[in-house]
């Protein structure tokens, strides 16, 4: 029998705060009642703040991030459209596969898993696309599989420098709400996220924010869509509702989570994620292990993917952490399976929780055969997290 708390350090679903869990314990209510908009109004408003948009609109689809990938594509593009993407991790891979399945012509740039979006290569290709054949550029802002954050503003600049009119699609599933995301400033046209990561709620809602330009593209898009029809959804949202039955308790949860986020303040949330992530990275450095991310400019503040040493199987590290220490760590996805384990550090999290994750990962690594010094990672992270008293008086 497992006793005590279970520790969840996967990069989503993340820990759901008690206030959010309680907020979901509601009697069912009529989603067609005239006052249903009282529930959704603040969700739409706060989500726009989280996305960094005043110009755009936000739609909530029952489903998940994957559903909103599909909604973004089928509501704005046309069959056979050429789109530019890079594959550098499991999620950019899956989005590219979806685009192909939906009948788009995908110009796919294959990169090592650990690289970021290839801004220079995108710029070159967009510059050479004299006839505007490329209709959209897709960027995975935070590649959760590798712990890599890409430069969305850089891709915007590449589009602008090339005077290119393509839509900019961004997957912000593991970034939005945790690290800075500036939809309007970066000229993002379609941005996808889900309820279960930075928004600290259970899975079950996908969010899609769209720019005025994307809304215009929607008018001439001929791809098939039904459940994920954005026009239907936005029309219903105008009245505070949904075109079909929404997951009402989850809406209460997301509302509470957003209220909490507004109270903490986005700059504080971003700073907290940076501090917690720095501690985790310092621990990995102290172990003498490498990150999957190729370069410090790419390091993600929401998830760290750690390469295990030669001769150690990352699956063993994850199994030991789970079976012996009641702690879920993220697995290596696709070709990284067995080579990488991931520590998710996003959402409702603090220093003590990160130290727990580091301490358990350290023990699991040692038990799986890694030659690292027990306590080395914990001590390194403590140095980052320690609030050193500023004045002697404060020491008392």
Report how far residue 282's alpha carbon sits from residue 175's, in angstroms, rounded to the nearest whole number.
Answer: 21
Q: Taking CB under 6 A as the rule, does residue 66 contact ligand PLP?
A: yes
Measured distance between the N- and C-terminal CA atoms of the chain, rounded to whole angstroms: 43
Report how far residue 50's alpha carbon sits from residue 179's, in angstroms, rounded to the nearest whole number.
Answer: 10
By beta-carbon proximity to ligand PLP, the closer residue of 101 and 235 is: 101
Q: How far is the CB of 307 from ligand PLP (least distance, A)?
A: 19
Q: Which stretch binds ligand PLP (CB under 6 A): 33-41, 140-148, 155-163, 290-298?
A: 140-148
Name the nearest CA neighbour of 58 among 179, 200, 177. 177
Residues 163-222 that bind ligand PLP (CB under 6 A): 171, 173-174, 194, 203
Strands 7-9 and 327-329: parallel
> Is there a contact between 241 and 316 (Cβ–Cβ < 8 Å)?
no
> Is there a contact between 113 and 146 (Cβ–Cβ < 8 Å)?
yes
Q: Taking CB under 6 A as the rule, does residue 301 contact ligand PLP?
A: no
Kindly report the CA angle at 263 between 212 and 6, in degrees rounded to 5? 105
Q: Taking CB under 6 A as the rule, does residue 332 contact ligand PLP?
A: no
Q: Which stretch binds ligand PLP (CB under 6 A): 138-146, 160-168, 217-225, 361-369?
A: 138-146
Q: Which of 47, 48, 51, 65 binds ligand PLP (CB under 6 A)?
A: 65
Q: How far is the CB of 252 from ligand PLP (least distance, A)?
A: 19
Report how far residue 261's alpha carbon sits from residue 49's, in angstroms, rounded to the nearest whole number.
Answer: 10
Q: Which stretch binds ligand PLP (CB under 6 A): 30-38, 58-66, 105-113, 304-312?
A: 58-66
CA separation, residue 164 to residues 128, 167, 176 (Å): 10, 9, 26
By beta-carbon proximity to ligand PLP, the closer residue of 116 and 240 is: 116
Q: Which of 40, 74, 76, 144 binds ligand PLP (CB under 6 A)?
A: 144
Q: Which stretch binds ligand PLP (CB under 6 A): 16-24, 71-79, 106-114, 139-147?
A: 139-147
Q: Taking CB under 6 A as the rule, does residue 14 contact ligand PLP?
A: no
H or E element that contains 323: helix 314-325
Residues 89-108 that bind ligand PLP (CB under 6 A): 91
- For residue 101, the Cα-to-chain-centroid distance in whole angstroms is 23
Q: How far is the CB of 53 from ligand PLP (least distance, A)?
A: 19
- For residue 265, the Cα-to-chain-centroid distance in whole angstroms is 18
Residues in contact with ligand PLP by CB under 6 A are: 12, 64-66, 91, 140, 142, 144, 171, 173-174, 194, 203
């Amino acid at each position: 029998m497992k006793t005590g708390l279970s520790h969840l350090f996967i990069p989503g679903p993340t820990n759901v705060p008690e206030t959010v869990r309680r907020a979901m314990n509601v009697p069912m209510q009529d989603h067609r009642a005239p006052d249903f908009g009282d529930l959704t109004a603040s969700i739409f408003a706060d989500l726009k703040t989280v996305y960094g948009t005043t110009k755009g609109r936000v739609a909530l689809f029952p489903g998940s991030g994957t559903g909103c990938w599909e909604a973004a594509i089928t509501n704005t593009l046309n069959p056979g459209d050429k789109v530019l993407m890079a594959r550098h991790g499991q999620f950019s891979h899956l989005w590219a596969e979806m685009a192909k399945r939906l009948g788009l012509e995908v110009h796919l740039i294959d990169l090592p898993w650990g690289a970021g979006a290839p801004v220079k290569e995108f710029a070159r290709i967009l510059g050479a696309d004299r006839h505007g054949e490329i209709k959209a550029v897709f960027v995975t802002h935070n590649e959760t599989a590798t712990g890599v954050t890409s430069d969305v503003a850089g891709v915007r600049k590449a589009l602008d420098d090339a005077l290119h009119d393509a839509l900019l699609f961004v997957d912000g599933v593991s970034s939005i709400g945790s690290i800075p995301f500036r939809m309007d400033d970066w000229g993002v046209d379609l941005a996808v996220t889900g309820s279960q990561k930075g928004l600290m709620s259970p899975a079950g809602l996908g969010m899609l924010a769209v720019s005025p330009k994307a809304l215009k593209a929607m008018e001439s898009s001929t791809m098939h869509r039904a459940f994920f029809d954005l026009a239907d959804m936005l029309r219903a949202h105008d009245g505070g509702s949904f075109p079909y039955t929404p997951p009402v308790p989850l809406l209460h949860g997301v509302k509470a989570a957003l209220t909490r986020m507004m109270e903490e303040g986005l700059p504080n949330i971003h700073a907290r994620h940076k501090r917690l992530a720095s501690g985790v990275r310092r621990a990995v450095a102290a172990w003498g292990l490498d990150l999957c991310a190729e370069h410090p400019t790419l390091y993600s503040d929401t998830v760290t993917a750690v390469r295990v040493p030669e001769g150690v199987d990352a699956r063993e590290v994850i199994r030991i952490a789970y079976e012996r220490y009641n702690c879920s760590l993220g697995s290596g996805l696709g070709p990284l399976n067995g080579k990488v384990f991931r520590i998710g550090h996003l959402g409702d999290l603090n220093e003590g929780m990160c130290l727990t994750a580091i301490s358990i990962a350290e023990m699991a690594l040692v038990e799986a055969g890694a030659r690292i010094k027990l306590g080395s990672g914990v001590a390194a992270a403590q140095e980052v997290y320690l609030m050193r008293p500023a004045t002697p008086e404060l020491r008392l």
